[in-house]
Chains A and B, each alone.
Chain A
Amino acid sequence: MGIKALNPQTRSTIITYAIVIVAFIAVTLLDGMGFISNSLSGQLVPICAYVSLAVSLNLVVGVSGELSLGHAGFMSVGAFTGVVVAGCLARMGVDSEIVLFVGAAVVGAIAAGIIGFLVGIPVMRLRGDYLAIVTLAFGEIIKNLLNNFYIGIDDAGLHFSMTDTASLGMNQGTILINGPKGAVGIDKISTFVLGIILVLITVAVVLNLMHSRDGRAIMAVRDNRIAAESVGINVTKYRLMAFTVASALAGAAGVLYAMNYSTITPSQFDFNQSILILVYVVLGGMGNISGSIISAAFLTVLPEILRPINQYRMLLYAIVLILVMVVPHTRIYQRIAEALRGRLRKAPADAAIAAEGGEGDE
């Protein structure tokens, strides 16, 4: 459908979708043959959630170029909104799991998007590390507020309080969110298929946005803010757009995550969770969507793979993380890489130099 059948952009888009679909088919087949252990199959939905989170955070960090340290906050807004919505729908007599999930995910995404937009207005006035610390602060504030939320439902409707469950004044209702104890008695309706669909939607939203008028404006602001302004781009608008869309997608992923467990607590969505998602993005490569997918999936599975050495696995995880970052910058690695590259690309490189020379510049 593109302008040119296979320009690099289209190719990488196709590869990205292919990775998700092939992974889905492979996992389904392996599961059918009984090759997937129980502990691993329990990880399938969280993997999908983390992949969505990494892809959406990449929209902020990689595509828009702003370091956000509060992504888990938007995830939790989505998660808890989703729990409340699913609770309401269930009480209204909806029993189709698909409807419950879609309802929860859509409302969760909208709620997270609205919070993202509201947070983004002040945040986007700041730059660099100041922006990073403020996103961190908002993430912690959201966590703290949710720790004080008590929401219940009975025949009269929703009840809300910020002190305790008793003050909800309910008449034989169900408590949906119980302060620091979080959401309890969640219907576990997330499935791997729903997870994969959410991943595909997230990827489609981010890629379609990236390769459009607005996406180019977002990337232009990242590459050179002053130049972007000079060609008439409203910098704040586009930074805010990326932040809001990413927040909404994180909200949907939060719903997927929450609906996989019977209990979730606000403290699960803390600063460390945000950092974890950021690690996926940086390891996968800035602005590289398929990279985010692979690194999020791999790093979520890694602790499972390392389970035989249970005690040492997190230590090993830390070492892997440091090595992956440091090794490419050591002299030995660079020399080896250069030698390899030289051998592999000798011929095409020469041709390219010849072509450049024809340009006659400098």
Chain B
Amino acid sequence: MEILANIINGASLGSVYAIIALGYTMVYGIAKMLNFAHGDVIMVGAYVCFCAVSYLGLPALAGVLISVVACTVLGIVVERLAYKPLRNAPSLNVLITAIGVSYFLQNAALLIMGSDPKSFSSIISLPALQLFDGKLTISATAVITILACVVIMAALTMFTGKTKMGKAMRACSEDRDAAQLMGINVNSTISMVFAIGSGLAAIAGVLMCSAYPTLMPTTGSMPGIKAFTAAVLGGIGSIPGAALGGILLGIIEILARAYISTQLADAVVFAVLIIMLLIRPAGLLGKPVNEKV
């Protein structure tokens, strides 16, 4: 029973990673950049929701909505101001800019909200699920997190597969110049991807803080790195890969924490990543790219 509970908790944490990783992977696919500030958008999302619920007294769902809107706007603004001028710059310059944005968001949050951790009250007030005569208890947060991940995955797959905008996104990530020649507005497509990714990050932030209620300006960095790891593990650029990688990573992390060592859990997670990449250098669902000679 215990192992089942751990796997479900792992899948729940993994769902958070997966939702964040979706943002990473979509941005990488289209803009070919590692958006290191993505983890901090999670933190912003959680703070916005926290403020809306605790200070303004709004209902939880409204808090989530406001936080999604705020992060979506934030994503678009950051892209326009910081990343768009660097569209043709070396990728490392973009990386450093993203790190600058990450520092900026963290320190802005520090100034506004202070360094003391805020206790985030879960937005989900449903009772925990009791299964097998109470032998297995699953928190409602875990269930809803996993459900949210499934819904988001399905919606994104539909969106990229069926809609015009989604097809434009896929075209841009395949070959940006060719897409432009076919009349696709690359700039607005990239903005769209940042908007979606940041909106998802807000949801991830709220869900994560519902499960792990300590909220600090640096709350987003470690999940951000883990989600990035998950995106690479699944094959960066691949949407199902990000989901698979995220959930696997979450399960491995929780199992390692439970059965190996709490302190070494992260080491185990990263070791698994390394081993996986050595076996499949392009990630689980990534396609290897051969250089044309």
Contact = CB atoms under 8 A, between A and B. Distances in A.
B89 interface: yes
A148 B96 contact: no
B264 A144 contact: yes
Contact of B99 (A126, A127, A225, A321): A321
Nearest to B231: A133
Contacts, number: 125
A325 B100 contact: yes
Interface string A54-66: 0000000100000
Interface string B138-165: 0000000000000000000000000000
B266 A129 contact: no
A311 B263 contact: no
Contacts of A315: 104, 107-108, 111
Given A137-B273, A282-B92, A325 B86 contact: yes
Contacts of A325: 86, 89, 93-94, 96-97, 100
A237 interface: no
A294 interface: no
Contacts of A283: 96
Contacts of B283: 130
Given A122-B274, A148-B263, A136 B103 contact: no
Interface stretch (A19-27, A86-94, A250-258, A271-279): A271-279
A118 B274 CA distance: 13
Interface in B199-242: 221, 225, 228-229, 232, 236
Decide if the interface of chain A is mainly helix, strand, loop or mixed: helix
Interface in B56-115: 81-82, 85-86, 88-90, 92-97, 99-104, 107-108, 110-111
Interface in A191-231: 225-226
B89 A321 contact: no
A30 interface: no
A322 B277 contact: no
Nearest to B236: A129
A35 interface: no
A112 to B, nearest CB: 18
A314 B111 CA distance: 10
Given A315-B107, A315-B111, A126 B93 contact: no
Contact of A322 (B82, B89, B95, B264): B82
Contacts of B94: 325
B129 interface: no
B166 interface: no
A330 interface: yes
Contacts of B2: none
B100 A322 contact: yes
Contacts of B34: 129, 132
B96 A279 contact: yes
A116 to B, nearest CB: 15
Interface string A127-146: 10110111011101100110
A156 to B, nearest CB: 27
A222 to B, nearest CB: 13
Contact of A145 (B89, B99, B267): B267
A60 B177 CA distance: 31
Contacts of A129: 28, 34, 232, 236
Interface in B31-49: 34, 36
B282 interface: yes
A145 B266 CA distance: 10
A33 interface: no
Given A134-B277, A144-B263, A322 B97 contact: yes
A129 B281 CA distance: 11
A136 B225 CA distance: 9
Contacts of B111: 311-312, 315
Interface of B: 28, 34, 36, 81-82, 85-86, 88-90, 92-97, 99-104, 107-108, 110-111, 221, 225, 228-229, 232, 236, 261, 263-264, 266-267, 270-271, 273-274, 277-278, 281-283, 291, 293
23 contacts: A126-B281, A129-B236, A130-B277, A132-B34, A136-B225, A137-B229, A137-B273, A140-B267, A141-B271, A145-B267, A180-B263, A271-B225, A279-B96, A282-B93, A282-B95, A311-B111, A314-B110, A317-B107, A318-B101, A322-B97, A322-B101, A326-B82, A326-B86
Given A141-B271, A282-B93, 12 more contacts: A122-B278, A129-B28, A130-B281, A133-B228, A133-B229, A133-B273, A134-B277, A144-B267, A279-B99, A318-B107, A322-B100, A322-B101
Interface of A: 61, 67, 122, 125-127, 129-130, 132-134, 136-138, 140-141, 144-145, 147-148, 180, 225-226, 271-272, 275, 278-279, 282-283, 286, 311-312, 314-315, 317-319, 321-322, 325-326, 329-330
